[in-house]
Amino acid sequence: MKMLTLTIIALVLAASFVSANPTGNITLFASYWDTLYVLRNGASNPIASFDLPSETDGLTFDGENWWMIKQPEGTIYCFDYGGDYVTDFPAPAANPTGLAWDGEYLWISCLLDIRYDDVQVYQVNTEGLQGPYGPFTAFGHLGLTVFEDCIATLTFTNVCNFYTMAGSFQRSIELGSSSEEEKSLTYDGDALWVYVKPEANDPYIKNCDPYTGEWLGDQLFALECIETGLASGVWSYTGVEMEAFGKIKAFFEGGDGK
């Protein structure tokens, strides 16, 4: 139960395929447990929502395929844009919590100890084999995203840490005050977006300067009293994606998922 709670808190739909949609606005995806919400900058409420398989973490998109972590076994599954199964492979270590795409490789963060905030970050190809960069230890399991040529993680104390892809610590920025809880992280090509859970007010999603941590003024819908994961990418609004996620859910519910 403790691990389940931590995986919900650590749910990270890391920045995946970063681009602007046809309206010129970045689309954000916010996931809670078994539902995925589609948000758009400038819209106060979700523009769409649909079901995901239960206990799904770390959704990311590589431009052609959806990747996700299926809990509790920690298997990485791949489905094409139409929702058809492509492949799966085990996570490189136990307790995977974050998933991101850098344009060529997947990045996976795995919690080292459920009592602490340290993670081992792995780079793997689309077959699950180690990439050119070996695993490294980082601090922060509440968020994982690719920022330019760095890997960024989010800690319990609202600090965003930046590491080179080789694992060398570069810098850190604060993304919130002590009266807030920051619980997810993604980069849309311009700004970092984080899920904020204040002590006294409703939660929301805000954008921050990736160099200073300063709030840039935009704030989006967030569900009250939940922890959510974030990703950014392209959404065509054709209905194809909703149908695809229906097929993914049916794949797991039909017993095909492992």
**For position 229, which CATH number holds?**
2.40.128.630
How far is Cα of residue 41 from the mean position of the Cα atoms in its chain? 17
Range in 54-58, 104-108, 161-165, 213-217 the model is least confident about: 54-58
Range in 46-50, 123-127, 236-240 the model is least confident about: 236-240
Q: Please, which pLDDT band fits residue 146 given cuts at 50, 70 and 90?
A: very high
Q: What is the pLDDT of residue 196?
A: 81
Range in 28-32, 144-148, 150-154, 201-205 the model is least confident about: 28-32
Single-letter amino acid code for the residue at 204: Y
| 39 within some domain | yes
d(CA 163, CA 190): 18
Partnered with residue 120 across adjacent β-strands are 110, 137
| 42 within some domain | yes
Domain count, the chain: 1
The closest alpha carbon to 79, from 101, 59, 100, belongs to 59
| 142 within some domain | yes
pLDDT surpasses 60 at 253: yes
DSSP 240: H
β-sheet with 75-80: strand ranges across: 56-61, 65-70, 75-80, 85-90
Q: What is the pLDDT of residue 228?
A: 54
| 258 within some domain | no
Domain containing 229: what range? 2-253
Q: What is the pLDDT of residue 234?
A: 55
Q: Please, which pLDDT band fits residue 139 given cuts at 50, 70 and 90?
A: very high
**Mean local confidence (pLDDT), 132-150:** 92
Single-letter amino acid code for the residue at 92: P
**Mean local confidence (pLDDT), 153-158:** 88
**Mean local confidence (pLDDT), 16-34:** 49
Q: What is the pLDDT of residue 44?
A: 64
pLDDT surpasses 60 at 13: no
Which of the two residues, 176 and 187, has the higher pLDDT score? 187
Q: What is the pLDDT of residue 128?
A: 96
Chain position carrying tokens 């489905």: 79
pLDDT surpasses 90 at 182: no
| 144 within some domain | yes
Q: Token pair of 165, please?
A: 């892809």
**Mean local confidence (pLDDT), 45-70:** 78
Q: Please, which pLDDT band fits residue 229 given cuts at 50, 70 and 90?
A: low
pLDDT surpasses 90 at 201: no
Helix segments in the chain, DSSP class H? 2-9, 240-253
| 81 within some domain | yes
pLDDT surpasses 50 at 11: no
Q: What is the pLDDT of residue 51?
A: 76
